[in-house]
Amino acid sequence: MSPLTNTIVLAIAGLATQASASTIKVAVGKSGLTFAPDTVTASAGDVLEFHFYAKNHSVVMGDWTDACVPAKTGGFYSGFFPTAANTSNAEVFSVTINDTTPIAFYCSQNTGSHCKNGMVGVVNPSGENTLEAYQAKAKSVSSAESPATVFGGVVSAAPAASSTGTETGASSTASSTSSSSASASTKPNGAASLGVSSVTGMVAIVGAAALFVY
Ligand X SMILES: *[C@@H]1O[C@H](CO)[C@@H](O)[C@H](O)[C@H]1NC(C)=O
Among 109, 113, 135, 178, binds Cu ion (CB under 5 A): 109
Residue 78 to residue 154: CA distance in whole angstroms: 8
> Minimal CA–CA distance to 23: which of 203, 181, 151?
181
Residue 16 DSSP one-character state: H
Cβ closest to ligand X, residue 6 vs residue 112? 112
> Minimal CA–CA distance to 168: which of 208, 198, 190?
198
Nearest approach, Cβ of residue 81 and Cu ion (Å) = 9
Cβ closest to ligand X, residue 135 vs residue 146? 146
Q: Is 96 in the site for ligand X (CB under 6 A)?
A: yes
Residues between 31 and 50 that touch ligand X (CB under 6 A): none
Residue 21 to residue 43: CA distance in whole angstroms: 8
Cβ closest to ligand X, residue 59 vs residue 209? 59
Q: Is 147 in the site for ligand X (CB under 6 A)?
A: no
Three-class SS of residue 37? coil
Among 13, 47, 67, 107, binds Cu ion (CB under 5 A): 107
Instruction: Say which entry of ligand X, Cu ion, none residue 5 contacts (CB below 5 to 8 A, set by partner kind).
Output: none
Cβ closest to ligand X, residue 46 vs residue 167? 46
Count CB neighbours of 111 within 10 A: 7
Q: What burial letters (b/e) apply to 198-207, b meaning 16+ CB within 10 Å?
A: bebbbbbbbb
Nearest approach, Cβ of residue 145 and ligand X (Å) = 11
Give the interface with ligand X as residue ranges (CB under 6 A): 56, 74-76, 80, 82, 85-86, 95-98, 103, 109-111, 152
